[in-house]
């Protein structure tokens, strides 16, 4: 598609053959300004770039010939999309751009129990996201590629479930160039939804739009499942969300501090049975990571 007012008459001069493990871009964690590093063109794409990385990524070979798109353009577009998806994901700012290398298996030289298995799950998930992306057609919809099985993570508070989900979501967005959302089932979350349902509310009508987005987004993390008050309305809303995602085989990750037994009976067991069908269930027994991360991120 052509978004520029100066529309080149010819397509890119060449396609870039990339190594299967090279998506054409990478994350450089070096922070120059702000909180995060930067997603950059991979060296092979950079090598073929003739526009100097400047928008609108066109090459003017000579004044008598129409400009052509630079080979870097499609990768620059992906980088812009990834940045937008990460910012709009709902992941809190300090945890955006956290990737698998940020998941540590040890602390102060001592291994963290269970962390190596969790990291292996992350590796597997990332590999699947990479290979799905590599095998999908350009511009293919999420529904045309095989589904990714989600995760149901349960365990004590501070065991690293939420941190795991931040990294998983960043990785999925990064490699698939598709949007993902992180929601926390806090009191405020339901209050906002309820408020938006009221007719007099300035947000009236936005509640359904938002739920629709959550139903359709390719990747969804539902954090802190179980803190909801379990009113009929809340449970029905949650069941409809989970069931719609289940029916459309969309990746869903749930974290909960609750014992799995206490979730089994919610909504007549319908939620739990959906979770089992669409997710790997992992009991996280690691000790409290929160003390560790407190120093680094002050959460």
How many positions of this chain bind Zn ion (CB under 5 A)?
4
Going by C-alpha positions, the residue among 4, 79, 85, 12 that lies closest to residue 49 is: 12
Closer of 24 and 179 to Zn ion (Cβ)? 24
The residue behind tokens 């349960």 is 154
Q: Of the candidates 39, 41, 51, 263, which one interacts with Zn ion according to CB under 5 A?
A: 51
Closer of 55 and 230 to Zn ion (Cβ)? 55
Q: Of the candidates 39, 41, 45, 70, which one interacts with Zn ion according to CB under 5 A?
A: 70
CB of 38 to Zn ion, least distance (A): 16
Interaction between residue 45 and Zn ion (CB under 5 A): no
CB 226, CB 262: distance < 8 Å: yes
Closer of 53 and 157 to Zn ion (Cβ)? 53
Interaction between residue 72 and Zn ion (CB under 5 A): yes
Q: Which stretch binds Zn ion (CB under 5 A): 43-51, 78-86, 109-117, 166-174?
A: 43-51
- In sequence order, which residues have a C-beta less than 8 Å from that of residue 171 and are 6 or more positions away? 99, 100, 122, 125, 126, 129
Beta-strand runs (E) in 42-102: 58-59, 68-69
Binding mask 140-169 toward Zn ion (x if CB under 5 A, else -) reads ------------------------------
Closer of 70 and 91 to Zn ion (Cβ)? 70
Q: Of the candidates 45, 49, 220, 271, which one interacts with Zn ion according to CB under 5 A?
A: 49
Per the omega criterion (within 30 degrees of 0), is the bond before 56 cis?
yes
Q: What is the DSSP letter of 15?
A: P
Q: Please, what is the angle between helix 206-216 and helix 232-247, to 10°?
A: 40
Closer of 83 and 136 to Zn ion (Cβ)? 83
Q: Which stretch binds Zn ion (CB under 5 A): 72-80, 143-151, 196-204, 287-295?
A: 72-80
Interaction between residue 41 and Zn ion (CB under 5 A): no
* 3-class DSSP state of 212: helix
Q: Which stretch binds Zn ion (CB under 5 A): 66-74, 84-92, 190-198, 272-280?
A: 66-74
What are the Cα distances from residue 202, in Å, to 7, 192, 205, 211, 237?
41, 11, 9, 17, 21
Interaction between residue 68 and Zn ion (CB under 5 A): no
Interaction between residue 284 and Zn ion (CB under 5 A): no
Q: What is the DSSP letter of 100?
A: G
Going by C-alpha positions, the residue among 133, 197, 122 that lies closest to residue 160 is: 122
CB of 47 to Zn ion, least distance (A): 11
- In sequence order, which residues have a C-beta less than 8 Å from that of residue 129 and are 6 or more positions away? 148, 171, 172, 175, 176
Closer of 49 and 91 to Zn ion (Cβ)? 49
Say how far apart CA 198 and CA 208 lie, in whole Å.
12
Residues making contact with Zn ion (CB under 5 A): 49, 51, 70, 72
């Amino acid at each position: 598609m052509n978004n520029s007012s100066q529309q080149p008459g010819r397509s890119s001069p060449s396609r870039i053959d990339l190594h299967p493990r090279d998506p054409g871009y990478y994350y450089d964690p070096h922070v120059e300004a702000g909180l995060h590093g930067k997603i950059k063109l991979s060296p092979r794409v950079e090598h073929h770039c003739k526009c100097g990385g400047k928008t609108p990524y066109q090459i003017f070979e000579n004044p008598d010939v129409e400009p052509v798109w630079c080979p870097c353009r499609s990768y620059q577009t992906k980088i812009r999309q990834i940045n937008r998806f990460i910012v709009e994901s709902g992941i809190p700012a300090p945890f955006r751009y956290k990737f698998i290398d940020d998941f540590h298996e040890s602390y102060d030289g001592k291994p963290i129990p269970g962390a190596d298995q969790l990291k292996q799950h992350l590796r597997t998930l990332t590999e699947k996201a990479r290979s799905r992306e590599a095998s999908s057609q350009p511009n293919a919809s999420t529904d045309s590629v095989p589904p990714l099985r989600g995760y149901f993570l349960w365990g004590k508070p501070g065991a690293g479930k939420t941190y795991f989900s931040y990294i998983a979501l960043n990785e999925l967005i990064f490699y698939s160039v598709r949007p993902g959302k992180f929601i926390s089932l806090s009191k405020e979350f339901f209050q906002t939804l309820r408020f938006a349902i009221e007719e007099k509310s300035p947000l009236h009508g936005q509640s359904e739009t938002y739920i629709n987005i959550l139903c359709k987004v390719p990747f969804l993390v539902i954090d802190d499942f179980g803190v909801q008050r379990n009113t009929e309305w809340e449970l029905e809303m949650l069941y409809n969300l989970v069931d719609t995602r289940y029916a459309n085989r969309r990746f869903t990750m749930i974290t909960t501090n609750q014992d799995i037994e206490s979730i089994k009976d919610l909504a007549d067991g319908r939620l739990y049975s959906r979770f089992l069908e669409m997710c790997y269930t992992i009991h996280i027994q690691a000790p409290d990571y929160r003390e560790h991360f407190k120093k680094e991120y002050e959460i």
